[in-house]
Amino acid sequence: MRKTIMHSINPVILSGGMGSRLWPMSRVLQPKQFQPVNGVDGQSFLQATALRHRGAPFNEPVVVANARQVGLIASQLDEVGVSPTILGEPVGRNTGPAVLAAALRLLRDDPDALLLVLPSDHVIDGDLNDVVGRMRRGAEEGRIVTFGITPRYPETGFGYITRGEGIPGCPGLHAVSAFVEKPDLERAQALVDGGNAHWASGISLMRADVIVEEFRRLEPETFAAVEAALEDGTDGEAGSWLMDEAAFSKALDEPTERAVFERTQSIAVAPVDVAWNDVGAWSAVHSIGRKCEGGNVLGQEVMAIETRNSLVRGCGKLIAVIGMEDVIVVDTPDALLVTNHGNAQMVKDAVKRLKNDGRQEVDRHAAVEAAREQGAEPEPGPGTAADRTRRLEVAPGRFAEVTGTGEAGSVVTVAAGIALLKVQGEPTEARAGQIFFVRPGETARIGNIGSEALTLVSVDIADPDAQDRRLAPAQVKSADQTEPGPAAARRHVA
């Protein structure tokens, strides 16, 4: 066994998934990791993940993501002072090939590279880095360390890892007794009661050469495919590296756990007692949300009467929920979800059906689709996307106004930059990838509080009962005055 040398740790953030159980908020091109953690403003899941692992002993992260998300990733991480290496996936192949690609990339510069694999969309409250630091020795010695969360209740939506005997010389590190796929309630309760089972967090620590050699041994075709995809790739947006599609498509479509962890003798588990949530379904969003009377988590324009333990989020229009319990209602301009806590995991089944039917609602929000069409410069005409879409650039320190003028108002996407906006309420910060809604006749004041240009795309929302009427274009304008800096822009919007 090699002599233990404490090397820096390279965070590897996996950002390729859609988060299908959080549809209709999460779409293929606007997945949950780019949305604010608290559902309103502030840091996105991706930003919070990157910032969680900053400073010694961490290097700048490697992000492996859908190639179509590269620009948004670079923009969001630049906002928080993070300079990642970004590897773009031309097609989705689950976490196995993504981790392998990151490991191969790191080995080019450092034969002793150590990587910490991180999902981009989890909420963690507690000192995870303390445990990571203590497990570094085990990883340096050639073990693949997976982190197991102390379970709080018998969750059926998570996988479990059961621990075996402690590993000599590595306090807190244990052999893995078994991996348990998402169990039924009875089995989950037995695992929790047994005291030696942990939720599988998806977080792991290992040497890059160790995981590469395990892929070479266990999945040689995938190893060859990913190696070729990196070698034959091309330069992409924001300094990223886009892997070759023909080669990458040959890799297996499996998570790292199934491809390697469940089959290797090098696996070990480190228990972690932190508050953790993968926010994998709307019931999880409810559990971490700020609850009001009756245990409800409600949006700003929701009226709840005799309603308990429910999550209701809207997009500008009033939603009244009366005499309900355990319901989940999520409204967006182009899709409405109604379910309950017991069936929240089944949202992914609806997404599968939407994909099979070729529905665009699974790919992107209506505003982004219209903006994409605008970029293709279609001929303007009654009711076309070009006719009802406006793009606005706001310089740092300036502000603009957007008035909702579609039959059902306007939806505005922050395409780039940091905005401070006010729409009939308290000032709210919005970042690249976030959307907000302006009702007909209502005006939003928007200030650029960043150091770069703020780009907004406003799209009028059509009334489905008024398809024969010509849509009035959104009234989007810049203010004439120039403010001396972001602080002044904040004062004007507020």
Confidence bin at 187 (pLDDT 50/70/90): very high
* Separation between Cα atoms, residue 443 and residue 404, nearest integer Å: 7
State CA 287 to chain mean position distance: 18
Average confidence (pLDDT) over 196-200: 95
Residue with tokens 């549809």: 23
Neighbouring residues of 308: CB distance < 8 A, sequence distance ≥ 6: 294, 295, 296, 324, 325, 326
The two three-digit tokens of residue 200, written as one number: 């599988």
Q: Which span out of 129-133, 435-439, 487-491 was modeled with the highest average pLDDT? A: 129-133
For 258, list phi and psi in degrees, rounded to 5. -75, -35
Query: pLDDT digit string (tens) for 103-154?
Result: 999 999 999 999 999 999 888 989 999 999 999 999 999 999 999 999 988 9
* Separation between Cα atoms, residue 172 and residue 131, nearest integer Å: 9
Q: Which residue has the higher pLDDT, 71 or 28?
A: 71
For 171, list phi and psi in degrees, rounded to 5. -55, 130
**E strands of 425-485, at which residues?**
428-431, 435-438, 443-448, 454-460, 475-478
Is the per-residue pLDDT at 360 higher than 90? no
At 128 the three-state DSSP class reads helix
Q: Which residue has the higher pLDDT, 37 or 50?
A: 50
Query: pLDDT digit string (tens) for 83-115?
Result: 999 999 999 899 999 999 999 999 999 999 999
Average confidence (pLDDT) over 362-388: 47
Neighbouring residues of 167: CB distance < 8 A, sequence distance ≥ 6: 138, 143, 173, 174, 175, 268
* Separation between Cα atoms, residue 394 and residue 455, nearest integer Å: 6
Asked whether the bond before 183 is cis by omega within 30 degrees of 0, the reply is no
For 102, list phi and psi in degrees, rounded to 5. -65, -40
* Separation between Cα atoms, residue 374 and residue 478, nearest integer Å: 20
Is the per-residue pLDDT at 57 higher than 50? yes
Cα-trace Rg, the chain: 24
What is the pLDDT at residue 337?
Answer: 94
Cα–Cα distance list, 446 to 2, 376, 438, 455 (Å): 57, 26, 12, 11
Determine the Cα angle at 6 with ends 5 and 10, to 5°.
Answer: 125
- Start-to-end CA distance of the chain, whole Å, equals 61
Q: Which span out of 16-20, 210-214, 431-435 was modeled with the highest average pLDDT? A: 210-214
The DSSP H or E segment spanning 26 is none
Query: pLDDT digit string (tens) for 156-166?
Result: 888 999 999 99
* Domains present along the chain, CATH in parentheses: 9-280 (3.90.550.10), 283-352 (no CATH), 378-493 (2.60.120.10)
What is the pLDDT at residue 384?
Answer: 37
At 416 the three-state DSSP class reads strand
pTM of the model: 0.71
Is the per-residue pLDDT at 209 higher than 50? yes
Query: pLDDT digit string (tens) for 450-486?
Result: 777 888 877 776 544 433 333 333 344 444 334 333 3
Q: Which residue has the higher pLDDT, 432 or 463?
A: 432
* Separation between Cα atoms, residue 385 and residue 473, nearest integer Å: 10
Average pLDDT of every residue of the chain: 82
Q: Which residue has the higher pLDDT, 427 or 362?
A: 362
* Separation between Cα atoms, residue 270 and residue 159, nearest integer Å: 15
The 10 Å CB-count burial string (b at 16+, else e) for 413-428 is bbbbbbbbbbbeeebb
Confidence bin at 416 (pLDDT 50/70/90): confident
**E strands of 213-253, at which residues?**
234-235, 241-242
Cα–Cα distance list, 231 to 93, 239, 244, 440 (Å): 18, 16, 8, 52
Confidence bin at 235 (pLDDT 50/70/90): very high
Is the per-residue pLDDT at 387 higher than 70? no
Cβ contact 36:42 at 8 Å: yes
* Separation between Cα atoms, residue 183 and residue 155, nearest integer Å: 8
Is the per-residue pLDDT at 301 higher than 50? yes
Of the ranges 233-242, 259-268, 352-361, which one carries the lowest mean pLDDT score? 352-361
* Separation between Cα atoms, residue 364 and residue 373, nearest integer Å: 12
Neighbouring residues of 489: CB distance < 8 A, sequence distance ≥ 6: 396, 397, 398, 399, 420, 447, 448, 449, 483
Neighbouring residues of 221: CB distance < 8 A, sequence distance ≥ 6: 250, 251, 252
What is the pLDDT at residue 287?
Answer: 81
At 476 the three-state DSSP class reads strand
What is the pLDDT at residue 376?
Answer: 34
At 118 the three-state DSSP class reads strand
What percent of the chain stands above pLDDT 70?
A: 83
Confidence bin at 288 (pLDDT 50/70/90): confident
Confidence bin at 207 (pLDDT 50/70/90): very high
What is the pLDDT at residue 388?
Answer: 53
Of the ranges 12-21, 171-180, 373-382, which one carries the lowest mean pLDDT score? 373-382
Confidence bin at 386 (pLDDT 50/70/90): very low
* Separation between Cα atoms, residue 475 and residue 400, nearest integer Å: 11
* Separation between Cα atoms, residue 397 and residue 76, nearest integer Å: 19
Cβ contact 380:336 at 8 Å: no
* Separation between Cα atoms, residue 101 and residue 106, nearest integer Å: 9
Average confidence (pLDDT) over 211-220: 97
* Separation between Cα atoms, residue 323 and residue 340, nearest integer Å: 14
